[in-house]
């Protein structure tokens, strides 16, 4: 017990005596933790956003105007039976018109409709796939190739010409972009985590390197490895604790002053509150990581200097 007290005393003495390297280590920890604290929610938000976009990917199956209700219900059952179909929704002519008005603007669509005199939009089914990647497979299942090689719709009420159409022409593009974005963000996050770990490791190595003479003398008078190592590890814990605490405080200040007020107006920021880790959980993970990394980092780095 008195031994532990001695080690703690040694650690604090070393921190005081090596104020500049200690400060450098703390600042490095702060920067790293703040960086991760900003990046992790961004990554999570981007991921959940891209999943949201993927969720909305759908295609439409048009239905002839003269189809009866029982035919339509039968088709609904068939569509729902196709693998990877997440949902099937029936859109009436009026709803289709409302969608068009929504897309083009009221004035333009009314202008268009006066020229046509009647609502030309077909009733249709909105078919959603469970994943954007499966969308084309579902579409192919609705219009399998017939005996003559041409696509043959699964139901006679589906027009043979243009049986399906996309409300969003660039559905595929969105899918590509979101998966690319995901890869880029994953790579950036991974690189930053590696970079910050190396930065912390380097800072620790530097502070130990400046004290290798001290370690040499300690070994000379017969200090065991752990006797030398404990104060260094406690020092690492103190540095990680101080750095982590300061970083969490910075993040929290940033959250309440910048993110939270903007969250009301910008949906991207608001999304963070629902779909990602809660702030306390994130803070706890980052804090624990900061303390652990700097303590273990100190212990491991010291090994090089402890060889007999």
Query: What's the closest the beta carbon of residue 220 comes to another protein, in angstroms?
Result: 6
Nearer Cβ to another protein (213/304): 213
| Contacts with another protein, residue ranges (CB under 8 A) | 2-3, 6, 13-14, 17-18, 213-214, 216-225, 227, 308
Q: How many helices (H) and strands (E) does the chain have?
A: 12, 4
CB of 210 to another protein, least distance (A): 11
- Nearer to another protein (CB atom), residue 196 or residue 207: 207
Residue 1 C-beta: closest distance to another protein, Å:
12
Q: How far is the CB of 242 from another protein (least distance, A)?
A: 20
Minimum gap (Å) between residue 214 Cβ and another protein: 6
107 vs 220, beta carbon nearer another protein? 220
Q: At how many degrees (to 10) do helices 212-220 and 225-254 cross?
A: 150
Q: Cα separation of 200 and 294, whole Å? A: 7
Q: How far is the CB of 224 from another protein (least distance, A)?
A: 5
Report the alpha-carbon distance of residue 3 to residue 144 in Å, rounded.
Answer: 79
Residues 6+ apart with CB under 8 A from 32: 196, 199, 200, 243, 247, 290
Extract the runs of DSSP E, i.e. beta strands, from the chain: 58-63, 85-91, 123-129, 164-165
**Beta carbon nearer to another protein, 107 or 308:** 308
Alpha-carbon distances, residue 90 vs 69, 80, 97, 123, 303 (angstroms): 11, 12, 14, 8, 69
Q: Give least dist CB 5 to another protein, A.
A: 10
Nearer to another protein, 130 or 214 (CB): 214
Q: How many other CB atoms sit within 10 Å of the CB of residue 236?
A: 28
Between CA 151 and CA 279 the distance in angstroms is 52
Q: For residue 278, how many other CB atoms are within 10 A of its CB?
A: 9
Closer Cβ to another protein, 17 or 108, answer by number: 17
Nearer to another protein, 9 or 257 (CB): 9
């Amino acid at each position: 017990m008195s031994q532990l007290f001695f080690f703690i005393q040694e650690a604090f003495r070393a921190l005081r005596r090596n104020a500049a390297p200690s400060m450098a280590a703390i600042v490095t920890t702060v920067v790293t933790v703040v960086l991760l604290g900003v990046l992790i929610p961004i990554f999570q938000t981007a991921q959940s956003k891209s999943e949201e976009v993927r969720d909305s990917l759908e295609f439409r199956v048009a239905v002839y105007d003269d189809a009866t209700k029982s035919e339509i219900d039968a088709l609904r059952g068939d569509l729902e039976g196709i693998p990877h179909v997440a949902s099937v929704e029936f859109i009436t002519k009026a709803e289709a018109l409302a969608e068009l008005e929504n897309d083009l603007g009221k004035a333009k669509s009314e202008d268009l409709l006066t020229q046509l005199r009647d609502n030309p939009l077909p009733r249709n089914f909105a078919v959603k796939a469970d994943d954007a990647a499966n969308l084309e497979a579902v579409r192919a299942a609705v219009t399998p190739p017939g005996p003559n090689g041409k696509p043959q719709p699964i139901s006679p009420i589906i027009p043979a010409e243009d049986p399906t159409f996309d409300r969003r022409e660039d559905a595929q593009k969105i899918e590509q972009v979101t998966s690319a974005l995901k890869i880029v963000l994953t790579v950036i996050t991974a690189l930053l985590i590696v970079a910050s770990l190396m930065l912390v490791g380097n800072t620790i190595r530097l502070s130990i390197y400046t004290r290798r003479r001290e370690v040499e003398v300690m070994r000379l008078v017969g200090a065991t490895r752990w006797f030398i190592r404990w104060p260094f590890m406690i020092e690492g814990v103190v540095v990680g604790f101080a750095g982590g605490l300061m970083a969490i405080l910075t993040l929290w200040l940033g959250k309440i002053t910048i993110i939270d007020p903007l969250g009301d107006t910008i949906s991207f920021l608001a999304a963070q509150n629902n779909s990602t880790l809660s702030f306390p959980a994130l803070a706890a993970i980052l804090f624990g990581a900061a303390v652990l990394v700097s303590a273990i980092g100190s212990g491991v780095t010291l090994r090089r200097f402890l060889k007999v």
